[in-house]
Structure 1
Amino acid sequence: MAFYEVYSHPAVIRYRTSVCTKATLFLVIVLCLTYIPPLLVAFRSQGFWLKQSSYEEQPVVRFQYQTLMVAATSTQGDYVAWSTFPHLNNMLGPSLRIPAVSVREEDLNQDGKLDLLTLQLQLPLRNTEEVYSVQLLLTFSYQLFVSVVDGSSPFASAYDLENIVRSYQARNLTTVLSCPMPVWTVGRAAGSPFELNVEIRYPVEVTALTLSSTYRPGFWETIKFAWIQYVSILLVFIWVFERIQRFVFQNQVLTTVPLPAGKPHLL
Structure 2
Amino acid sequence: MMSLITLFSRPLIVHYKSSKISQATLFTIITWIINILYPWIIVYQTDGLWKKVDYFWEKPQVNFKYDLIMMAKLKNTSISSNQIIWSSFPQLNNQLDQKKIRIPFISNYESDLNNDDVYDQLDMKLVLPTEKTEKISSIKLILFFTYQLKVNMNLKMDSQLILESFTDEPPSKLSIIGDLKFLQKVPLPNDQLLLSTGSIFDYVDSDDSIKTSIDNMLTESTSQVFSITTSPNTLFLWNHGYERNLDKFTIDIKLNYQDDLFHYIPGFWCTMKWAWIQYLSIYIVFYWIIQKIRCFVFHNQITSSMVFTEIKSHGD
**TM-score, normalised by the number of residues in structure 1:** 0.76
The one-letter amino acid paired with 2:309 is: L
The CA deviation string for residues 102-155 of structure 1, in whole angstroms up to 9 with x for no partner, is 11212334433223212111112222222221111111112225443239x796
Aligned mates of 1:227, 1:206 — CA distance in 2: 26
Distance change >3 Å, CA 150–CA 253, structure 1 → 2? same
1:79 alignment partner in structure 2: 83
- Aligned pair partner of 1:150 in 179, 189, 201: 201
User: Offset at 1:174?
Assistant: 2.6
Aligned mates of 2:121, 2:85 — CA distance in 1: 26
Contact 2:16–2:298 (Cα < 8 Å) also in 1? no
Q: SS where residue 295 of structure 2 aligns?
A: helix
Q: SS where residue 229 of structure 2 aligns?
A: coil
Aligned mates of 2:260, 2:122 — CA distance in 1: 17
Aligned mates of 1:88, 1:22 — CA distance in 2: 86
Query: Are residue 119 (structure 1) and residue 124 (structure 2) matched?
Result: yes
User: Offset at 1:27?
Assistant: 2.9
How many residue pairs are counted as aligned between the two chains? 255
Aligned positions of 1:1-267 closer than 5 A: 11-19=11-19, 22-75=23-76, 77-90=81-94, 91-142=96-147, 143-144=156-157, 146=196, 147-150=198-201, 157=209, 160-171=213-224, 173-179=226-232, 180-189=234-243, 190-191=245-246, 193-209=248-264, 223-249=272-298, 256-257=306-307, 259-262=309-312
Q: Percent identity?
A: 29
Distance change >3 Å, CA 120–CA 7, structure 1 → 2? farther
Aligned mates of 1:208, 1:116 — CA distance in 2: 24
Distance change >3 Å, CA 3–CA 103, structure 1 → 2? farther
Structure 1 or 2: more strand by fraction: 2
User: Offset at 1:92?
Assistant: 4.0
Contact 1:157–1:163 (Cα < 8 Å) also in 2? no
The one-letter amino acid paired with 1:85 is: F
Contact 1:158–1:164 (Cα < 8 Å) also in 2? no
Ranked by relative contact order (alpha carbons within 8 Å, sequence separation 6 or more), the top structure is 1
Distance change >3 Å, CA 195–CA 237, structure 1 → 2? same
Contact 1:87–1:154 (Cα < 8 Å) also in 2? no
Tell me, which stretches of 5 or more residues in structure 1 are unaligned?
212-216
Aligned mates of 1:87, 1:227 — CA distance in 2: 58
User: Offset at 1:196?
Assistant: 0.7
Contact 1:117–1:200 (Cα < 8 Å) also in 2? yes
Tell me, which stretches of 5 or more residues in structure 2 are unaligned?
148-155, 159-195
Aligned mates of 1:5, 1:261 — CA distance in 2: 17
Aligned mates of 2:132, 2:9 — CA distance in 1: 98
The CA deviation string for residues 85-107 of structure 1, in whole angstroms up to 9 with x for no partner, is 22333434233322221112123
Q: SS where residue 184 of structure 1 aligns?
A: strand
The one-letter amino acid paired with 1:232 is: S
Runs of 4+ residues over 6 Å off in structure 1: 2-9, 153-156
The CA deviation string for residues 47-90 of structure 1, in whole angstroms up to 9 with x for no partner, is 22344344444332211111111222324643333221223334
Aligned mates of 2:127, 2:40 — CA distance in 1: 66
Contact 1:53–1:210 (Cα < 8 Å) also in 2? yes
User: Offset at 1:205?
Assistant: 3.7
User: Offset at 1:210?
Assistant: 6.0
**TM-score, normalised by the number of residues in structure 2:** 0.66
Aligned mates of 1:8, 1:131 — CA distance in 2: 95
My pick for the range that moved more, 125-134 or 69-78, is: 69-78
User: Offset at 1:166?
Assistant: 1.9
Distance change >3 Å, CA 127–CA 75, structure 1 → 2? closer
User: Offset at 1:186?
Assistant: 0.6
Aligned mates of 2:18, 2:99 — CA distance in 1: 104
